[in-house]
Structure 1
Amino acid sequence: MSEPQSGTSGSEQHTDAAARPIDAIADRYVDDLIALQPELATLLGVPGHDDRWSDYSPEGHAALADLDRRTVAALVAAAPTDERENTAKEAMLERLGLAGELYDARISTSRVSVIAGAAQEIRSIFDLMPTDSAEAWHHVATRLREIGTPLGQVRETLAAEAQDGNVSAVRQINGTVEQIRSWTGQSGSDDFFAGLVDGLPAEYADEVGAELREAADTARTAFADFGRWLTDDLAPKAPSLDAVGEERYALNSRYFLGAAVDLLETYQWGWEELRRLQDQQRRIARELTGSDDIHAAWAALDADPQRRIASAEAFRDWMQGLADRALADLSGTHFDIPEPIRKIECCLAPTHDGAIYYTGPTEDFSRPGRMWWAVPEGIDTFSTWKEVTTVYHEGVPGHHLQVAQNAYRADLFNRWQRQLCWVSGHGEGWALYAERLMDDLGYLDDPGNKMGMLDAQAFRAIRVIIDIGMHLQLPIPADNHLGFRPGERWTPQAGLEFIMAHTSTDEPTLRFEVDRYLGWPGQAPSYKIGERIWLEARAETQARQGDAFDLRQFHADALNLGPMGLDPLRRALARL
């Protein structure tokens, strides 16, 4: 990978429509989308929108769908000037086309989910809002004070869908209500709005303090009212069946992968992959304990005082140190990493749902890429053996390398590619591929850390099995190597029992995981399926290039194509 030229903020870049028609359409799309979704400006670090909310009403959703349709028409009519624009056109057509299919299927307008619903979107934007001035805190207060408007629009949209019987499963509604009760201090110790007020620096207290407290109280009340509406009005109309069925699942799977896969073949492959990984785990277990008992090896690693950290804050500092070392080691050796992206921040999320996630940098890198961990309540000690591979997944060479580089490469990517295009199979598949790469490079030679990587890989293989299995209500193979409920059909309870028996993750996190799968069909398998397609793409490239194949160059070439669906990725790699 050649050293990129100086990055340019997309908000300052003006594309010549005649010279670069695809890039001009893409850049205009970002501007138009920001006008409809001001929270997106907050995410990108574009000033001037931090006191506004998106329109979550049916009319707001229709406006977004109309923008996508108009942009698709413009892309179809435009001729790319070179291969780079051709790749961008393919990527954008695939993404916007699938977004339109989700809208037409009324999936995006009816979704209530414990991880990817409107309630989570609205709450989480406060995690990314600037807080470095009194004016910035005024914007926080304004959004808090006005939060009842988007919540009311969400209610309007969900009610309209419910009139036609299009309602998410009751499990997702009840789970969302429990989250809202936590955020609003009605249960547990996690009053998000009180925490937001407590985070106001003393230097701004006189100017903003009273306004912020009043606004937080207003927001807390609005969210609590929304939660009661979900319980009293929407939940009674919701189906108890969690499975979405093959047709809807296949559409969701294509959206998260950017590729169409044979779901039954993939389900069977998930079983085969789990068996392969568990065989490796048994070998590592023998190295650690002298026995091939995987659970005994996990217990020994958990009990190792050299691998334990006693507080969330100390664990965050450990993650930060490991992420920094990986950046330093890989830069200039296995990857060329530009200076602006040689910074990542490890953060504790203000919520406690167990999620681990990455947020990209702003366009000007004033806010760096961040990895977040929402530590579950009651968890106060941590084992590093399970999390070394997580740091590589979220940091470098995983999400941070990929996402932050996309944001930086104004010389290669238009603004939509740099800041908006995200395909789970491409991005999460790369991050899982990155974990395996770090093993290949010797960074997981410690048997405990290697066991952690294998545990994470097995966890993702289990996701393939139970996500497809639960949503399609498939039979469990009668001859499965674990002897688990042979011949029975998958249910949520069977999924929970299976994942609890075969991963080292704590029970509260796994309960949330299963609820997440049921409310976000097709997303959880995209990690492992995405890794599979990345590995296949690498093998195909190596077969084409023969002795000329160079792994470092393959990574550079693949990342320099930018984010896209996995089917477009394969086609783009074949054209190199």
Structure 2
Amino acid sequence: MTKITIVSLSLALALYGCNDNQEQANQTTNAATTEVTQNQQQQGMTKEEASTALNQLFEQQFQESLALNPIQATAIGIPGYNDKLPNMLSPEFRKKSHDFTVKWLDKVKQIDRSLLSGQDRLSYDIFVYQSEHSLKGEQFPGHLIPINQSSNIANFFAQLGSGQSFQPFKTVEDYENWLKRVDGGVAIMEQAIINMDQGIEKKVVQPKALMEKVIPQLAAHVVDDPTQSIFYTPIKNMPEDISEEDKKRLEDAYRVAIVEKLVPAYKKLHDYIKDDYMQHARDSFGLSEQPNGEAWYNYQLKTYTTTDLTAEEIHQFGLDEVARIHSEMKEVMAEVGFEGTLEEWFKYVQTNPEFYYDNEEDLLQGYRDLQAKVNKLLPSMFDIAPETDYEVRAVEAFRAESAAGASYMSGSPDGSRPGIFYVNTFNLKGQPKFGMETLSIHEAAPGHHFQISLQQEIEGLPMFRRFGGLSVFSEGWALYAESIGKEMGMFTDPMQYYGRLSDEMLRAMRLVVDTGLHAKGWSRQETIDYMVANSSMAYTDVVSEVERYIAWPGQAVSYKVGQRVISNLRAEAERKLGDKFDIKAFHREVLVDGAVPMPVLETKIREWIDSQLDEA
């Protein structure tokens, strides 16, 4: 298998044409660029010069963006930023971010789009689309609800400082960099309190059910003994080549930082939420219950699907999929000889001990064994593969209770830091053996790890595309990857195939319950009851999932929307190309340009189909 480069077919995107996103980009950019375009033509700018100018702007924009987002620089291994962390919740930062977006959007629009073709035109349209969409989102006050149980700076900062994430702790300088970054983290937690106070005044607040879960997460970091803090872990694991003098100095400095800065910051935030914010948190759950909530949710749907699908359309799509998947589950029940109802089947797989591990290490080793198995099967479906490897780890204890069943954190593009497939071992009944193959495919290969690592390694793409992302693409691809497991040689055990259906059911239910919560007024309990009745998920997992949807409106619908687009495109390619259809070539074309909006992907693949027909 080969490393991805910008291949000739992708360069043939000069015909890249009609789709919703392009039409939107055209409408918003044509008037603004007419005068500039005329000037460029008068100056005789060639297509090559326009291409060069555009890509220079993209490179300059990306380099300047790192000052606003030094965490991204750390994540992708760009030196010089590991000690920095701006107060991203402050009004000053939000103003800088706004001005930055306006500045670079204006600069890019000054390039005559008609002089661009292929990857350049694609990059231009994606950049304009994403920038303008970001600016539209500024009307919604997300900064007033900066903390929830699923996503908050306090938890993320603890992961970063644990030495088990992408913050480097290899040299004395690395350790000193973190000490400087601590001040930024403390400032953000202070700002979070200020913002939440403003949210109370404007009646933009989080649901009580979510904030109750935040309190113990924060309490875990309020320790009397600094050596018991997760932030002390890098000291316990200090490299042997650091001198004894530096070890002692750093050990003392970390103790001071924990005792005098970090523990007080976590305690202040904990006490504020417990003793003050909880008195004002709301009893409702949906985003539509917030001021301007209906428009806010519609914006979220656009963000996470890159389509104009309405909440009602998505809800019905979900109901249809739930019914279809139930039918397939009944086929598995018949195959294994189970006689009974779906409800009885769900109870059977939940309570049969043979379907569950009784210790964490066996579960993790099971996923590591699957890693080796899947890697041998990938060449049957792919002629490309990432150079970066991944490893399997348990979710850290302090966040496990509220974390998803699994997640993925990308590695570095040079392969020096592997990707991480996190498995939540908090409740082993939430990790059935029959769900392991499909979960591994989704989170690791050929799902998230495969797609994201390939995107980061693509040579020739602007940096904002290599290291950007779209949920509908990445989650859609990962769910599509599950659907090809049987073709790859997985799911030979009918129970493992049931696991694949069970996970697809989760994604189908998400369409129903996310829109139910945020557009139809469903309560937390109604949503829990729906998911329990339609799946064999552990109750604790259902609760965690539902509260995640409450905290993250719209994201949960991206999976099935993206999968449907990719699966429909494959079916179209198979129908039109017949015997000339090459599954490896199709997969390469879907992945070769990184994450793109769904209408862009549809245009791209249809042009690829036409090019294959022209070659026949």
TM-score by length of 2: 0.81
Q: Distance in 1 between matches of 2:554 and 2:432?
A: 30
Which structure carries more helix by proportion? 2
* Cα distance change of structure 1 residues 131 and 302 upon mapping to structure 2, 3 Å threshold: farther
Distance apart, 1:72 and its partner CA: 2.0
Aligned partner of 1:442 in structure 2 is 489
> Are residues 298 and 214 of structure 1, via their aligned partners in 2, closer, same or farther at CA, if it must alter by over 3 Å?
farther
Deviations 1:435-461 (A, max 9, x none): 001123331121111011111011111
Q: Which residue of 2 aligns with 1:11?
A: none
388, 403, 409: which one aligns with 2:458: 409
Cα deviations across residues 355-397 of structure 1 (Å, max 9, x unaligned)?
A: 2211112132211222112432x54895321121100001111
Distance 1:544 1:70 in 2: 44
1:354, 1:375 within 8 Å by CA — same for their partners in 2?
no
Question: 1:222, CA displacement in angstroms?
Answer: 0.7
Flag as ranges the 4+ runs of structure 1 deviating above 6 A. Answer: 302-306
Query: Map of 1:115-154 to 2, 5 A cutoff?
Result: 115-126=150-161, 127-144=165-182, 146-154=184-192
Return the alpha-carbon distance in structure 2 between the equivalents of residues 185 and 567 of structure 1: 50
The answer to whether the 8 Å contact 2:470/2:595 transfers is yes
Alignment match, 1:28: 60
Partner Cα separation in structure 1 for residue 229 and residue 532 of structure 2: 29
Cα separation, 2, equivalents of 1:225 and 1:319: 39
CA distance in 2, matches of 1:442, 1:535: 19
The SS at the match of 1:357 is strand
Q: Cα–Cα, structure 1 residues 17 and 395, in superposed 2: closer, same or farther, change >3 Å?
A: farther
Cα distance per residue 1:277-299 (max 9 Å; x no partner): 11111221222243244455556
Task: Give the Cα–Cα distance (whole angstroms) in 1 for the partners of residues 601 and 571 of structure 2.
Answer: 14
CA distance in 1, matches of 2:458, 2:372: 22
Counting only pairs closer than 5 Å after superposition, residues 113-192 of structure 1 correspond to structure 2 as 113-126=148-161, 127-144=165-182, 146-184=184-222, 192=230
Report 1:304-383 matches (<5 A): 308-331=356-379, 333-338=380-385, 340-341=387-388, 343-350=389-396, 351-352=399-400, 353-355=402-404, 356-376=406-426, 379=428, 382-383=431-432
Q: 1:292 to 1:24 in 2, by over 3 A?
A: farther
Q: Deviations over 1:154-194 (max 9, x none)?
A: 333333444433333333333333322234469xxx96446
1:290 aligns with 2:338: yes
Q: Provide closer, same or farther for how the CA distance between residues 299 and 174 of structure 1 changes in structure 2, counting only shifts above 3 A.
A: closer
The corresponding residue for 1:244 is 287
- Which amino acid is the alignment partner of residue 138 of structure 1? E
The Cα of 1:274 is off from its aligned counterpart by 0.6
1:426 to 443, 448, 473: 473
Aligned residue type for 1:452: G
Rate the CA distance shift 1:4–1:354 in 2: closer, same or farther, 3 A.
closer
Distance 1:437 1:107 in 2: 37
Task: Select between 193-202 and 154-163 the one with higher mean Cα deviation.
Answer: 193-202
Name whichever of 207-216 and 443-452 sits farther off.
207-216
Amino acid at match of 2:148: S
Question: Structure 1 residue 208: deviation in Å?
Answer: 2.3
State whether structure 2 residue 110 is matched by structure 1 residue 77. Answer: yes
Q: In 2, Cα distance between the equivalents of 1:118 and 1:3?
A: 35
1:185–1:93: structure 2 CA closer, same or farther, 3 Å change rule? farther
Once residues 550 and 139 of structure 1 are traced to their aligned partners in structure 2, the CA distance between those partners, rounded to angstroms, is 49
Partners of 1:230 and 1:259 lie apart in 2 by: 37
Query: Cα distance 1:100–1:117, how it changes in 2: closer, same or farther (>3 A)?
Result: farther
2:3–2:457: 8 Å Cα contact kept in structure 1?
no
Question: Is 1:63 the counterpart of 2:89 in the alignment?
Answer: no
**Number of matched pairs:** 544
Deviation at 1:228?
1.8
Per-residue deviation at 1:273? 0.6
Contact 1:399-1:427 within 8 A present in 2 as well: yes
In 2 relative to 1, CA 380–390 (structure 1 residues): closer, same or farther, beyond 3 Å?
closer
| Distance of 2:265 and 2:529 partners within structure 1 | 37
**1:466 and 2:513 equivalent?**
yes
The answer to whether the 8 Å contact 1:311/1:380 transfers is no
Quote the residue 1:391 is aligned against.
440
The CA deviation at 1:41 is 1.4
CA–CA distance in 2 between the matches of 1:174 and 1:66? 36
Deviates more, 1:142-151 or 1:214-223: 142-151
**Amino acid in the other structure paired with 1:426:** F
Structure 1 residues 554 and 347: alpha-carbon distance in aligned structure 2, compared to 1, 3 A threshold: same
**Which residue type is aligned with residue 360 of structure 1?**
S
From 309, 321, 326, the counterpart of 1:278 = 326
Are the aligned partners of 2:510 and 2:557 in contact in 1 as well (CA < 8 Å)? yes
Deviation digits for residues 179-233 of structure 1 (CA, Å, limit 9, x no counterpart): 22234469xxx96446565544576553422222332333122112112223344
Quick one: distance in 2 between partners of 1:220 and 1:374? Answer: 26
Contact 1:138 1:212 in 2 (8 A): no
Distance between the aligned counterparts of 2:430 and 2:66, measured in 1?
Answer: 41
Are residues 1:573 and 2:608 paired? Answer: no
Taking a change above 3 Å as real, the CA distance of residues 70 and 109 of structure 1, as seen in their structure-2 partners, is farther
SS of the equivalent of 1:525 reads: helix
The aligned runs of 1:200-239 (5 Å cut-off) are: 200=238, 205-217=247-259, 218-239=261-282
CA contact (8 A) 1:408 1:418 kept: yes
Q: Output the CA distance in 1 between the equivalents of 2:533 and 2:220.
A: 28
User: Contact between 1:369 and 1:400, CA under 8 Å: does it hold in 2?
Assistant: yes
- Judged with a 3 Å threshold, the aligned counterparts in structure 2 of structure 1 residues 160 and 308 are, in CA distance, closer, same or farther, namely closer
Over 3 Å counting, the alpha-carbon distance change for 1:215 and 1:87 in structure 2 is same
Aligned residue in 1 for 2:449:
400
Using the alignment, how far apart are the partners of 1:5 and 1:68 within structure 2? 29
Q: Give how far 1:493 is off.
A: 0.7
What TM-score do the two structures reach when normalised by structure 1?
0.86
Compared CA separation, residues 238 and 3, structure 1 to 2 (3 A): closer
Between the aligned residues of both structures, percent identity stands at 21
1:477 corresponds to: none
- Match of 1:98? 133
Whether contact under 8 Å (1:460, 1:524) holds in the other structure is: yes
| Residue of structure 2 aligned with 1:509, choices 538, 541, 545 | 541
2: CA distance, partners of 1:87 / 1:43: 26
Which whole-Å CA distance do the structure 2 matches of 1:340 and 1:535 have between them? 26
Q: What is aligned with 1:12?
A: none
Following TM superposition, by how much is the alpha carbon of 1:124 offset from its aligned partner in structure 2, in angstroms? 3.5
> Aligned pair 1:46/2:78, yes or no?
yes
| Paired letter, 1:418 | R
Paired with 1:520 and 1:17, the residues of 2 have a C-alpha distance of 43
- Please list the CA deviations of residues 13-34 of structure 1 after superposition, one character each: whole Å capped at 9, or x if unmatched: xxx9854333333322221221
Q: 1:560 aligns with which of 592, 596, 605?
A: 592
* Alignment-mate amino acid for residue 396 of structure 1: A
With over 3 angstroms needed to count, the CA separation of the structure-2 counterparts of 1:86 and 1:239, relative to structure 1, is same
Q: Kindly state the Cα deviation for residue 544 of structure 1 after the two structures are TM-superposed.
A: 5.2
Letter aligned with residue 4 of structure 2: P
- The offset of 1:545, in angstroms, is 4.4
C-alpha separation in 2, matches of 1:94 and 1:380: 43
Q: CA deviation at 1:304?
A: 6.8
Return closer, same or farther for 1:566/1:258 CA change in 2, 3 Å cut-off.
same
1:88-119 Cα distance to aligned partner (Å, 9 max, x none): 22222222222222222223554433223443
Question: What amino acid is aligned across from residue 298 of structure 2 in structure 1?
Answer: A
